[in-house]
Amino acid sequence: MPVIEPAALQTFVMDIFLAKGVRAEVATNVAESLVLGNLKGHDSHGFIRVIEYVDWLDRGWIQSEAQLEIIKDTGTILIVDGHFQFGQVIGRQATELAVERARDNGVCILTIRRSSHLGRIGEFMEIAAEAGIVSFSLTNTHGGGVLAAPHGGSEPRLSANPIAGGAPVPGRDSLIMDMSTCVIAEGKVKVARAKGEKVPPGCIVNNRGEPTTDPEEYYTNPKGAILPVAGHKGYALAMFADVLAGAIGGGSCSRAGVNQVANGWFAIFIDPAAFCGQEFYDEQIGGLVDWVKSSKTMSGFDEVLVPGEPESRTTVERQNGIPVEQSTWDKVAAIATDLGVNLPI
């Protein structure tokens, strides 16, 4: 398994997109976001996505020259259209605008329609938290990317429909939540398949509705399905991600007949100072983290971690090198070679 220094990997990814005709600013943004995903330990939303994104550029599913369009801006309501630009670009731009509106007005509700794959949503929660803003979001895939079965069903009807949130904590790393409403994100199924590994039991079913741990049984024709987290609870959360990110967001909900994968996003940004007051917020959130981490541990655990801590520690661990599974490396290396891009040492 190759282990690549982060800066070298980022340059490599950028060079691939530059060779595909993506302008430098966009290629740099996407490369930064993907490698940051790997640094955070979310390999499912990191380097492995180069394979899909190159394909989507060829299909016209990603419009790398598109610009973010503001459809409506009242200060507290911000509606934007991504016109299928890379989601890493649209997500950052829209988040930065929403943070400004939240600072000015106390709160901003943002919706994004027609963005290409937004990637690791936690990145946008981190941007908001670093600015002192609390955030919460739901995402859908505009009807494409249907992969999850409804509770009690065996056929894909919904997307992974992730939920994410961020909260600044005084004197500590921010609380960052970023998770699929499925038992497992499809990106993690892809990573397991690339490594030739199994997925944990209870995550996927084959196209006959039978439980399996073999990623190959998910990637059949017709495909299998990923199961919702916590049964009916995750299923309900996924449904409301479609309600808010799909219907309310002005894009579209999960449905049949859509091949292009794109994202709709519904996000709330809140300035604590405008609600409870900054001093009260800081006191309460700091106390909450201390209280939760003070719990005695279960057998097999050394400590209680709060959301965002595993990612922070992985980032430190991977500063000297990011591991890439061999099959993913081989596929991206082949793309690079075809484009005349040099491989990193």
CA distance 183 to 180: 7
CA distance 216 to 206: 9
- Is residue 120 domain-resident? yes
DSSP 8-class letter at 263: E
Q: What local confidence, expressed as pLDDT, does residue 190 receive?
A: 86
Question: What does pLDDT average to over the chain?
Answer: 96
- Angle, in degrees to the nearest 10, between helices 24-39 and 87-105: 80
> Residue 155 belongs to a domain with what CATH number?
3.30.1370.60
- Is residue 65 domain-resident? yes
Phi, psi angle pair for 142, to nearest 5°: 60, 20
- Is residue 192 domain-resident? no
> Is residue 186's pLDDT more than 90?
no
- Is residue 297 domain-resident? no
Q: What local confidence, expressed as pLDDT, does residue 275 receive?
A: 97
Domains in the chain, number: 1
CA distance 36 to 48: 12
Residue in 166, 160, 169, 167 with CA at minimum distance from that of residue 139: 160
Q: What local confidence, expressed as pLDDT, does residue 323 receive?
A: 96
CA distance 226 to 212: 10
CA distance 97 to 74: 12
Burial class (CB in 10 A: 0-12, 13-18, 19+), 37: buried
What is the tens place of the pLDDT at every residue in 293-343?
A: 999 999 999 999 999 999 999 999 999 999 999 999 999 999 999 999 999
- Is residue 210 domain-resident? no
Question: Which residues are CB-neighbours of 320 under 8 A, at least 6 positions away?
Answer: 5
Q: Is the pTM of this model over 0.85?
A: yes
What is the tens place of the pLDDT at every residue in 232-269?
A: 999 999 999 999 999 999 999 999 999 999 999 999 99
Is residue 122 within 8 A of residue 217, CB to CB? The reply is: no
- Span 80-96, average pLDDT: 98
Q: What is the CA radius of gyration of the chain?
A: 20
- Is residue 143 domain-resident? yes
> Is residue 101's pLDDT more than 90?
yes
Q: Is the peptide bond before 222 cis (omega within 30 degrees of 0)?
A: yes
Q: What local confidence, expressed as pLDDT, does residue 195 receive?
A: 87
Q: What local confidence, expressed as pLDDT, does residue 215 receive?
A: 96
- Is residue 128 domain-resident? yes
- Is residue 14 domain-resident? yes
Q: What local confidence, expressed as pLDDT, does residue 47 receive?
A: 97
CA distance 186 to 238: 15
Residue 71, number of CB atoms within 10 A of its CB: 12
- Span 11-19, average pLDDT: 98
Phi, psi angle pair for 279, to nearest 5°: -65, -45
**Can you give the residue range of the structural domain that contains 256?**
3-182+228-279+308-339
